[in-house]
């Protein structure tokens, strides 16, 4: 298979076949179970913001003449950024599916059982608002430090604002898995956290790194890998984080998966057990009357 055809195949498989598909198992599972038990609300909350930042990043590199010209000035060997339209399509799709998953924590919308203890944690709330403030600070720096309002790529420029969005996405990806991994640890179970999304996510991370290598190889410029640092870091972070969930599901808490299987639309006593300990920092569910 020619190199360019292999690149197209890997690109389609990583985005459409794996990463895009990974957003469906969890919301579908929530609907079938009639509950969000086992899923941390922090995950879809911060995930939505992360992919919104990634959408801004990819759209800018694809369609902004200013950003593309500044990238060419800073990377004279490659000139063309390794961001592609499928990256933007994936990002928009991810925002939509993440919003859908987040909306499932609102009973008035989906009618699912949601624990009253399911609230966004303070660390994730801080990360959320910090991620909104950070690009505003970079914009202020560009406008105050650049002699021509951010159009000279040799100094602070608008491309640095776009890179800020990509770095925010990286930071969010690093920390977005932590609340869910901690929830699984507190419950000593991965029930309610669909492992299929993790397996698809893991495959997508591996293929994404392969795609980045192929892109740089076709351009005969290996600096394209570091030029698209967000994809490089996201691929590695995804692989490491997903492996933690694989270990939890198949090794650490393997025996606990079959202890409770709530019927669709029903809520068992274990549903409360799954959500309460993490959010109340207790080892047992809240007393009932």
| pLDDT digit string, tens, across residues 97-147 | 999 999 999 999 999 999 887 889 999 999 999 999 999 999 999 999 988
78's CB contacts (< 8 A; 6+ apart) are 216, 219, 221, 223, 224, 227
Q: What is the pLDDT of residue 135?
A: 96
User: Whole-prediction pTM value?
Assistant: 0.77
Query: Which residue positions in the chain have pLDDT lower than 70?
Result: 1-17, 79, 215-231, 234, 255-289
Residue 1 DSSP SS3: coil
Question: How far is Cα 96 from Cα 250, in angstroms, rounded to an integer?
Answer: 30
Task: Supply angle C-alpha 262, 267, 268, rounded to 5.
Answer: 65
Question: How far is Cα 209 from Cα 212, in angstroms, rounded to an integer?
Answer: 5
Element (H, E) at 133: helix 122-145
Cβ pair 15, 92 in contact under 8 A? no
Q: What is the pLDDT of residue 219?
A: 61
């Amino acid at each position: 298979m020619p190199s360019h055809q292999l690149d197209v195949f890997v690109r389609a498989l990583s985005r459409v076949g794996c990463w895009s598909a990974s957003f469906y198992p969890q919301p579908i599972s929530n609907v079938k179970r009639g509950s969000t038990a086992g899923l941390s609300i922090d995950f879809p909350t911060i995930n939505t913001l992360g992919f919104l930042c990634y959408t801004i990043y990819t759209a800018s590199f694809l369609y902004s003449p200013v950003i593309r010209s500044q990238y060419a000035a800073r990377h004279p060997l490659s000139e063309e950024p390794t961001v592609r339209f499928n990256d933007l399509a994936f990002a928009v799709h991810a925002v939509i599916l993440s919003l859908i998953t987040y909306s499932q924590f609102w009973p008035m919308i989906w009618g699912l059982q949601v624990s009253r203890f399911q609230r966004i944690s303070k660390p994730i709330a801080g990360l959320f608002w910090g991620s909104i403030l950070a690009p505003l600070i970079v914009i202020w720096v560009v406008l105050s430090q650049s002699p021509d309002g951010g159009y000279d790529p040799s100094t602070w420029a608008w491309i640095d604002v776009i890179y800020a969005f990509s770095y925010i996405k990286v930071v969010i990806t690093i920390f977005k898995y932590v609340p869910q991994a901690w929830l699984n640890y507190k419950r000593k179970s991965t029930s309610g956290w669909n492992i299929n999304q993790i397996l698809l996510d893991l495959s997508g991370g591996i293929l994404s790194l392969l795609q980045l290598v192929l892109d740089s190889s076709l351009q005969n410029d290996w600096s394209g890998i570091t030029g698209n640092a967000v994809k490089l870091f996201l691929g590695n972070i995804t692989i490491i984080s997903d492996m933690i969930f694989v270990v939890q599901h198949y090794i650490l808490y393997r025996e606990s998966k079959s202890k409770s299987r709530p019927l669709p639309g029903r809520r068992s006593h274990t549903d409360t057990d799954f959500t309460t300990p993490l959010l109340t920092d207790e080892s047992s569910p809240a007393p009932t009357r």
